[in-house]
Structure formats: C-alpha cells, structure tokens
Amino acid sequence: MNLAEGVQLVSFIILTVMMLGAALAVVLTPNIVYSAFLLGAVFSAMAGLYLLLNASFVAAAQILVYVGAINVLILFAIMLVNKREDFAPVKYAWTRKIVTAAVCGGLFLLLGTTIITTPWAIDSTAAAGDEAIYILGEHFFTDFLLPFELVSVLLLMALIGAIVLARRDIIPDGDALGDDLKLPEKPRELVSAVASSESESN
C-alpha cells in the first residue's frame, strides 16, 4: 500500500464514521433543530465519499442541492412552524418502538445482504469522473425528467405548507373554515402592539 492508498483509506474511514455517527445522532437527538443540522453533516460526509470516488460533480451537487437547498428548507419548515404545544403522551408507545426497531433491523439486514452478495468489480469501460456529467445530464432530461420535476414541485409544496402554518394569524374566522380545518392562531398581542406603535409614529 502506497501513500495515496493509505490517505484514501484513512479518509474513507473518517468520513464513514462521521456519516454513521451523525445519522445516529439525527435519530436519537431530542432537539429537532439539532437533528436538522446533523442531517447537513450527513450530506457533507456523503459528498466527501463522492470525492473519493472521483465524482466531483456529484459531490458539488450534493453540497449545493442537499445541504444548500433541501437541508435549509427543512430548517425553514421547522423554525417557521413554531409549534409551542407540548406533546401529549401516547398510549402503548412502546409497541411503536418495537415495530420501528423491527423495520429498521429488517432494512439493515436487507441492505447488508445486498452489499455482501453484490459483485463490486470495477468496470473500466464505464464513464468515471467528469465524463459522467454528460451521462447524468442526459438521463435527468430524458429518462428521469418527470421524477426530477416532481421533486421540485414537492419541495415547493413543502415550502408553501410551512409558510401557511407560520402565518396562521391571517387565516379567516371559523365561519369560513370547517371545524376540521381550524388551526390555533398565534397570539395577536405582538401584532397589535406593532400596529399601534406604527400608527403613533405616523
């Protein structure tokens, strides 16, 4: 093993430990804001793994799209909702934990079996590095154009939903909405105080 291979191996181990540790912290951290920031660390570690695979464009897209767009959108959604209500205890919550552990364990075994049984031989004829950019762009705008556009629409819907939940102080009265669509409005003291201060200044 030469120096370059040793550096790649050490970098792979560090990035893998960082990604797995941050992924576990995302699930186990009780603070949802910290979980969102740790999710950005997971995406960044994945970008580092793409760099080790000589896929610089995919690594840059990982940072720009997932860390710079999707993770920021998740943070906006968390901070705009501003939910102040305490969570009520759920009956038989331990059964959900058991089912979740069973599903996660099954997925782990399935993915582990797939990794072990898949031949990972390197195909020298496959496009690698910057040559893969053209193939990715061709697939995005031909074979996967519809899913690519649907993802953008889904992200737009999530952003609009976060804004609606954050601005629920302008929702009409209960007569215009059904009982099932009523949302607890934000306290109007701050809004009235700001309006009165503006009127006094004018």
> Pick from 88, 86, 81: which is nearest to 186 by CA?
81
Q: Which two tokens stand for residue 166?
A: 């954050």
Q: Is 76 exposed, middle or buried, given 0-12, 13-18 or 19+ CB atoms closer than 10 A?
A: middle
Residue 81 and residue 177 in one domain: no
Residue 157 and residue 172 in one domain: no
Residue by residue, DSSP assigns 96-139 as: HHHHHHHHHHHHHHHHHHHHHHS-----TTS--TTHHHHHHHHH
- pLDDT on residue 42: 92
CATH number at residue 82: 1.20.120.1200
Residue 110 and residue 187 in one domain: no
Residue 140 and residue 195 in one domain: no
Residue 44 and residue 106 in one domain: yes
Domain that holds residue 14: 3-118+127-166
Residue 75 and residue 173 in one domain: no
Q: How many CA within 13 A on the CB side of residue 39?
A: 19
Residue 29 and residue 74 in one domain: yes
Instruction: For residue range 13-34, list pLDDT tens digits in order.
Output: 999 999 999 999 998 888 888 8
Residue 34 and residue 133 in one domain: yes
Asked whether the beta carbons of 57 and 130 are under 8 A apart, the reply is: yes
Residue 107 and residue 38 in one domain: yes
- pLDDT on residue 4: 77
Domains held by the chain: number: 2
pLDDT in tens, the chain (202 residues): 677 778 888 999 999 999 999 999 998 888 888 888 898 899 999 999 988 888 888 888 888 888 888 888 787 777 766 555 565 676 777 788 888 889 989 988 998 898 888 887 766 555 556 677 777 778 878 888 888 888 888 878 877 777 776 665 554 554 544 554 555 555 545 555 555 565 665 5
